[in-house]
Chains A and B, each alone.
Chain A
Amino acid sequence: MKVLDIQNITKVYTDSEIEVKAVNDVSLSFSQGEFAAIVGPSGSGKTTLLNIIGGLDKPTEGEIVINSMNINKLSSSELIHFRLHNIGFVFQAYNLIPVLTAKENVEFIMELQGKSKAEREKRSLELLSGVGLVDRINSRPAKLSGGQQQRVAVARALASKPMFVLADEPTANLDSKSTETLLEIMEKLNREENITFIFSTHDQRVVNKARRVITVEDGRIVSDKSNS
């Protein structure tokens, strides 16, 4: 089942009258349960492409259809609501809410969705258990290591039961061991919850784990291969 379809996406930034095509006529589609990596050097347009896919940025041209909905036509408020229910995000710098505990961070997104307290508690415990942090549920981000924070971020991204998770260089700030643990957890959740994971990365360890690798250079897709 196709969850995401982008057609002829172009994103042009204008800086001091110089036009820069960050994404240049990109078409891609992702099916449910994919574990895909978008790779490429810095400045190749990976993050811009991910932001457009996630509805954080609007393309200059082209269409993005998620679950049969063209999100280009949504207002910024409608996009926020759409993201809440359909897309999970994992950021490079974890970006947890510093004043909330690990459990509260995971519950927060479900509260935004209007889920009941009982449901929030059950799912947050399930997810934190799944990422191996059941003993740290009451710790605030400042008391967690980088790897642990990113695992909370993954749990948070999955809490809303999204159609897919976008992870922008999720391992960039992690050491090898944390990277390995995080990738194993994400792979396991991908398998168990059948949720599509799309990463942007230039970390070879992530690339090695991905089942599909899309290479971007100068805003264009130069290869799109399955990684067996």
Chain B
Amino acid sequence: MIWSVSWRNIWRSKTRSLVIITAIALGVFAGVYTIAFMIGWVNQRINGVINTEVSHLQIHQADYLETNEVHCYIPNIGEIRDNIANNEGVKAVSSRLIASCMISSAETSSGILLTGINPKCERETSNVHTKIIKGKYFEGVKRNPIIIGEKLAQKLKVKVRSKLVITVTEMDGTISGGAFRVAGIFKTANSAFDEAKAFVRISDLQKLLNIEDNVGHEIAILMNKNGGENIIAQKLRRQYPKLNIMTWEELLPDIKMLNESTDFSLYIYVVIILLSLGFGIVNTMLMVILERVKEFGMLMAIGMSKIRVFTMVVLETVFLSFVGGCVGIVLALGLIALTGKIGLDLSLWAEGLNSLGFEAIIYPEIGTVPVVVVTVLVIITGILSAIYPARKAIKLNPAEALRMDT
């Protein structure tokens, strides 16, 4: 009956209970929606990193990432690529030639990282082809087509079919150049990527670098799902001990840190919200105790033990918190479902966001774990907030409490 009494007690002062429930609901709503917003935001960034920029895993010659030298290539790259492709969980594998080069238009020039790819394989490992906003992905230009980012196109003041001259250092140190024509212009969420990267056919870059066939600087591996890359990385490290095999987290530790610190900081944020709500709950419950001094005196007089009185007050507080928490979570889940479909448009800040590699349209998302964690935190807040008022209640002297004019 204590559960029933506690539940009914919270509705004795409907207005007061509704005010505190609304406060809790709004706090939890804000907390849960912010978590979903941040998770969506960070996941979009990670998906961008994986699907557009680096894939799940990359393999290089041991010194390549430090030197970026043309001669630090992987020999017999075709066999290695085909072997990796046979592993379970691997979705696609692509080998690349990479050269630091100077790209020049009629107007200006810029230093970029030119990647030679097999467009057919690359479509499987990278989604750059889906980011084409002008022209086509290696179509429409027969000889020496090049795909460049929008930012680079703006910098070089070129458009589709414009001519660009690329200057590279060959294997033997000779400087050579070649003319390319813009086949397509892509735009990703990362403007730095768009400015610093360009793609040509691997055969064209081989000729330009005067490099032999069946070699490459990079193998990109895309997994069927996130999380499987660590297992395959371990296996490949045993298989190819001389090659440098790195997961996306190792290649971009800042993104890994962003991912990890986001989870932690979000829970800190929710705890701060709940802490401030907790003080509100304590205040409300102290008012409740003050108003019901005589009743608590009566309950202890007729034989209700202190632990039962304590439990009753704790239950009242937990019910208040739980109802508010549930309302907040349901509202937040509703908005997450809505904005998760249509997206939250932050285009006003697109330039700043893109410069940091973030999308301007955010699709909030949330898993079961954060919802469960927030629910548990709400209940804990209720219990902790009840301790002080409940102690006040059980410290009452029944005889004195019964004399009070409340």
Question: How far does the Cβ of B304 sit from chain A's closest Cβ, in whole Å?
Answer: 6
Main secondary structure of the interface of B (DSSP, over half): helix
Are B298 and A91 in contact, CB atoms less than 8 angstroms apart? yes
The answer to whether B294 has its CB under 8 Å from any CB of chain A is yes
- Whether, in the assembled complex, A74 has its beta carbon less than 8 Å from a beta carbon of chain B, the answer is no
Mask, A71-83, CB within 8 Å of B = 1, is 0000011001101
Nearest opposing residue in chain A for B5, CB measure: A99
A110 closest partner in B (C-beta) = B1
- Quick one: closest B residue to A168, CB to CB? B402
Interface bracket on B: 20 to 34
Contact call A54/B301, Cβ cutoff below 8 A: yes
Residue of A nearest to B306 (CB): A77
Bound complex: CA of A97 vs CA of B2, how far in Å? 12
B78 contacts the other chain (CB 8 A): no
- Also in contact, A99 and B303, with CB within 8 A (given A91-B402, A111-B1): no
Check: A151 CB closer than 8 A to any chain B CB: no
Of residues 144 through 167 on chain A, the ones whose CB sits less than 8 Å from some CB of chain B are 156, 160
Instruction: Specify which chain A residues have a CB less than 8 angstroms from the CB of B238 in the assembled complex.
Output: none
Which of chain A's residues has its CB closest to B401's CB?
Answer: A56
B301 near A83 (CB under 8 angstroms)?
yes
A26 at the interface (CB under 8 A from B): no
Question: Per-position contact with B for A131-148: 1 when CB-CB < 8 Å, else 0?
Answer: 000000000000000000
- Are B9 and A104 neighbours in the complex by a CB distance under 8 Å? no
Q: How long is the Cα–Cα vector from A80 to B298 in the complex, in angstroms?
A: 11
Rounded to whole Å, the gap between the CB of B299 and the closest CB of chain A is 8
At the interface, yes or no: B57 with Cβ under 8 Å from chain A?
Answer: no
Q: Residue of B at shortest CB range from A160?
A: B303
Whether A184 sits at the interface, judged by CB under 8 Å, is no
Contacts of A57 in B (CB 8 A): 397, 399
Query: Interface 1/0s, chain B 136-152, versus A by CB < 8 A?
Result: 00000000000000000
Known contacts A83-B303, A85-B303, A112-B303; is-contact A51 B9 (Cβ 8 Å): no
The chain B residue with its CB closest to the CB of A48 is B399
Chain A residue at minimum C-beta to C-beta distance from B8: A99
Is B302 at the interface (CB under 8 A from chain A)?
yes
CB distance from A124 to the nearest CB of B (A): 12
* A174 on interface, CB distance cutoff 8 Å: no
Does A29 make an interface contact (CB < 8 A)?
A: no
Contact indicator A95/B298 (Cβ below 8 Å): yes
Q: Is the beta-carbon distance between B301 and A112 smaller than 8 angstroms?
A: no
Q: Which residues of A contact B398 (CB under 8 A)?
A: 56
Q: Determine if B305 is an interface residue (Cβ-Cβ < 8 Å).
A: yes
Given A80-B305, A89-B301, A97-B5, decide whether A51 and B295 contact each other with a Cβ distance below 8 A.
no
Output the residue of A77, A81, A84, A99 with the most chain B CB within 10 A. Answer: A99
A63 at the binding interface (Cβ < 8 Å): no
Residue from B1, B295, B305 within 8 A of A104 (CB atoms) = B1
A80 and B402: CB pair below 8 A? no
Could you say which of A91, A97, A98, A111 has the most chain B C-beta atoms within 10 Å of its C-beta? A97
Kindly name the residue among B5, B9, B299, B402 whose own CB sees the greatest number of chain A CB atoms within 10 A.
B402
User: Complex: how many Å from CA A84 to CA B306?
Assistant: 12
Are A100 and B5 touching (Cβ within 8 A)? yes
On B, residues with C-beta under 8 Å from A are: 1, 5, 8-9, 11-12, 294-295, 298-306, 308, 397-399, 402
Can you list 14 A-B pairs with a CB-CB distance of less than 8 A? A51-B399, A56-B301, A76-B306, A80-B300, A83-B302, A84-B302, A85-B303, A89-B302, A97-B299, A98-B295, A99-B5, A99-B8, A112-B304, A112-B308
9 cross-chain pairs, A with B, having the tightest CB-CB distances, nearest first: A84-B303, A99-B8, A56-B399, A95-B298, A57-B399, A51-B399, A83-B303, A56-B398, A111-B1
Known: A76-B306, A112-B302. 9 other contacts (CB 8 A): A57-B397, A80-B303, A84-B304, A95-B298, A97-B299, A100-B5, A108-B5, A109-B303, A111-B1
